[in-house]
Amino acid sequence: MQLGKPEQLEDNVLESVGVNFIDPDEDILPDGSEVTEDVTEDVGDAVAGYVMNMFGFFRDSRRNSQENIMLQCERAYGSKYAMDEQTELARRNKESGDSTAFIPLTRTKVNIAIAKTYEKIVANSETWSLSPDEITQDEKAKNSIDVMMGQMSGRLQISPAEALEKMNEFTQQEKSKQCESMEDEISEQMNKGDAFVAIAKTLLHQHYLGTGVAKFETTVFKNEVWKKDEFNKWELTFEDKPFPRIKFCSLFDVFFDPFARYTDKDTNVIERHVVKLSELNGYKNSKGFLKDVIDEIILANPEGNHIDQDYETTIRGINDQDQNVTSSDGYFDLYEAWVEISGSKLIENNFTDNIEPTESYKVNCWVCANKTIKLMLNPHKPQKSPYFIIPYQESTQTIYGTGIAEELFCPQDVINSVTRATISNAAFSHAPIIEVNVDMLKSGESPVEVLKPRQIFLREGGDPKEPMVRFYQPTENSAVLMNVMGVMNKIAEEVTGIGSTTEESLPSANAANMGISMILSQKNIMQRTVISNIDKYLIKPMIEMYYDFNMQWNDKDEIKCPAKVTANGISGIIAREMRTQQIVAFSNLTANPQDASLVNRRKVLTMLVESMDKEEEEVLYTKDEEKQNRASSAEQQRKAVEAEQQGIIAQIQTAGQSSIQKQQLANAGDINQERIKSETALRKQKLIEQSKMQQQAASGMIEVTEQEYQILENFRRLRNEQSYAR
């Protein structure tokens, strides 16, 4: 089923009552005895002390191990330096103009990864499903009896074995229909309860902090019902109805048992709430909370009792808020504990009936100002912790996961350093450094005022033959620094498995259908682990909690049946997109004239669209539109053929004219050649005669040699050829 986008509800539709709806018949004390004020105070104070001691142990353990990593991840995602580093960079920037740049590499990688995860898990229609259990022996026996009764009455028209098989098949089909109805009910509850928003925030924390936390809680739904009153008039009434929802929990406000190694169901969890006075008063009207104790706490602490934890002050500084706030008037610290307590500890605190000292019991306890305001055994059936702890990359030694920000600690630090050095070096080397001989300046002349804003070094003495002013160009190292940055970017891609935004885009339309195959490629192999963790630690237990809630509280018996929850986040997506790839391959294989008459292309495209979770009407033309497009294409094709034919005819005509012109030119060339030869012979004869006449007229003249004549003749012939060519 799809974790779809929720519908926004009015503020008065969902009224939170804490974490879980309490059975009205269930008492605060497990022995069922009536709770008196004295007993409640004694038990509450004793249990409150135990819970607060446990909280202090959880808090100190996290502070000494994981909290610094969490805060560093928060800074990296917020593109902020640590306070001491930020102070030092500000000082250097003021003194020498050094850069204070921070490259948001972590935020970019997180946004890329969460977009891919969100698309493949949350917005997918096959994220989870319910499948009915096999037919039980009791159901088979009932069907057998029905078959026997039909046979005895003579109404059975087929063999008993065949009839029994059909009845069992019908029973299984009815269970499948009930599961589908349950799926629809859960999907509607998730949409109304803003599960979409809570899951998105949880996945964000999972990606950059390494661990995301969500919680299943039950609220009261104000159901509007029109009923007739005693005077037979219609009146609008409101009925309180338990309603499930998923809530996002900040990892900083949730404290785990330091001995927990895996995110299993039995992990002790204490969540710290900071509530206003009005919110604390609101708990007095919720089932299971002790009104008198809450009033006592408010009277004893009229201005509230909230005190900031260390991490709250740091986070406030990361978000550019006032860090000097140490207490807040009108706010209270409220601790919600879902922990296991030994039977012996309960016996020490006056829990005596039906308690075994060697057994452990799961309880839900709320503490404020060292007083218990709510105490009960875990009301879930089966008893489960309502928290979902989802690691990004699992660790075998701690319940906390490793996120993208932690994986990028080293590359992020180096890239920031290289970026600052590159900017500072570029600013330093963009202009020359000037050295000035002050002995060669005029009296009262200041080179600093003349040559600002360049940096100037003054010197005295030296050889007077040296120039008064010399320029030095600082070394520009940006190329080396950019190479270092490129190496760090490659390392960042290797450790996270997330490429740059440009590399993440797919190269072709067919590649766009690859989807999960890209995620499962060697470059993005870690993304498969992330999706698997979401399946295992969020989707499956969350749907199980919804299923258990509906089996326990829903009034619709027609949707209830024994069923098994399956998280299809990774397997379903692989199967669906493998089918898409197969259809694309088949389409490409049959895209040829030989197979065109054998394949229904429209059917192939319809199957492809369905496998990609698209609506056929959105991307494919209707049959009427298809006919119009075919007619238009045929008309365009006819016009194109006519234009092509006309072009061919024009080319033929042009070619015929060209051949005639060539023949005419050739004939003209032959005539010119004969005329040139005749004129050449005539000129030769005239030259010879002129030479003889000159020889006879003047003695001592140099005879016209045959070589000179040949040179002259060659010149004339060349000139005639050029004239003919023109």
DSSP track, 29-68: STT-PPPPHHHHHHHHHHHHHHHHHHHHHHHHHHHHHTHH
- Which residues touch 663 (CB under 8 Å, ≥6 apart)? none
Q: Are 386 and 466 in the same domain?
A: no
Query: 720 lies in a domain?
Result: yes
Residues 469, 450: contact at Cβ < 8 Å? no
Query: 120 lies in a domain?
Result: no
pLDDT of residue 672: 60
Q: What is the DSSP letter of 327?
A: B
Q: Are 402 and 438 in the same domain?
A: no
pLDDT of residue 334: 95
Work out the average pLDDT over 562-584: 75
Q: Are strands 14-15 and 456-459 parallel, antiparallel or unpaired?
A: unpaired
Angle, alpha carbons 137-138-144 (nearest 5°): 90
Q: Are 357 and 449 in the same domain?
A: no
Query: 530 lies in a domain?
Result: yes
How many Cα atoms sit within 13 Å of 609 on the Cβ side? 14
Backbone φ and ψ of 445, nearest 5°: -85, 130
pLDDT tens-digit profile of 460-507? 666 677 777 777 666 767 777 777 778 777 777 777 777 765 454 444
Query: 612 lies in a domain?
Result: no
pLDDT higher than 90, residue 706: no
User: Alpha carbon of 706 to those of 214, 711, 714, 720: distances in Å?
Assistant: 114, 9, 12, 21
Domain boundary residue, one of 539, 560, 581: 560
- Return the percentage of the chain with pLDDT > 90, whole number: 18
Work out the average pLDDT over 448-471: 64
Query: 148 lies in a domain?
Result: no
Q: Are 268 and 191 in the same domain?
A: yes
pLDDT of residue 546: 93
Give the full edge-to-edge strand order of the sheet including 433-437: 456-459, 433-437, 469-472
Provide the mean pLDDT of the chain. Answer: 75
- Cis check: omega of the bond before 453, within 30 degrees of 0: yes
Work out the average pLDDT over 343-361: 75
Q: Are 200 and 70 in the same domain?
A: yes
Q: Are 202 and 271 in the same domain?
A: yes
Strands (E), 610-696: none
Q: Are 278 and 353 in the same domain?
A: yes
Q: What is the DSSP letter of 470?
A: E
Q: Are 400 and 274 in the same domain?
A: yes
Residues 392, 207: contact at Cβ < 8 Å? yes
Please state, in angstroms and rounded to a whole number, the distance separating the CA atoms of residues 726 and 719: 11
Q: Are 339 and 403 in the same domain?
A: yes
Q: Are 439 and 306 in the same domain?
A: no
Rg value, the chain, Cα:
45
Query: 281 lies in a domain?
Result: yes
pLDDT of residue 22: 34
Under the banding of pLDDT at 50, 70 and 90, the label for residue 11 is very low
Please state, in angstroms and rounded to a whole number, the distance separating the CA atoms of residues 207 and 527: 11
Query: 382 lies in a domain?
Result: yes
Please state, in angstroms and rounded to a whole number, the distance separating the CA atoms of residues 485 and 416: 9
Domain boundary residue, one of 560, 581, 608: 560
Under the banding of pLDDT at 50, 70 and 90, the label for residue 369 is very high
Tokens of 513: 């259908």
End-to-end C-alpha distance for the chain, whole angstroms: 85
Q: Are 692 and 551 in the same domain?
A: no
Residues 335, 55: contact at Cβ < 8 Å? yes
Q: What is the largest CA-CA distance in the chain?
A: 164
Strands (E), 108-150: 128-132
Query: 144 lies in a domain?
Result: no
Residues 406, 69: contact at Cβ < 8 Å? yes
Report the number of distinct structural domains present in the chain. Answer: 3
Q: Are 186 and 246 in the same domain?
A: yes
10 Å Cβ neighbour count for 568? 21
Under the banding of pLDDT at 50, 70 and 90, the label for residue 134 is confident
pLDDT of residue 700: 44
Angle, alpha carbons 636-603-613 (nearest 5°): 110
Per-residue burial over 150-169, b = 16 or more CB atoms within 10 Å of its CB, e = otherwise:
beeeeebeeeeeebbeebbe
10 Å Cβ neighbour count for 562? 12
Collapsing DSSP to helix, strand or coil, 307 comes out as strand
Name the residue with higher pLDDT: 172 or 510: 172
pLDDT tens-digit profile of 84-124? 888 888 888 888 778 888 988 999 999 988 888 877 776 55
pLDDT tens-digit profile of 610-637? 776 666 666 777 777 777 878 888 788 8
- Which residues touch 270 (CB under 8 Å, ≥6 apart)? 51, 54, 55, 58, 254, 255, 335, 336, 337, 338, 339
Which domain, by its residues, includes 320? 14-81+179-407+524-560
Secondary structure (DSSP) of 553-587: H-S-GGG---EEEEE-TTHHHHHHHHHHHHHHHHH
pLDDT of residue 351: 65
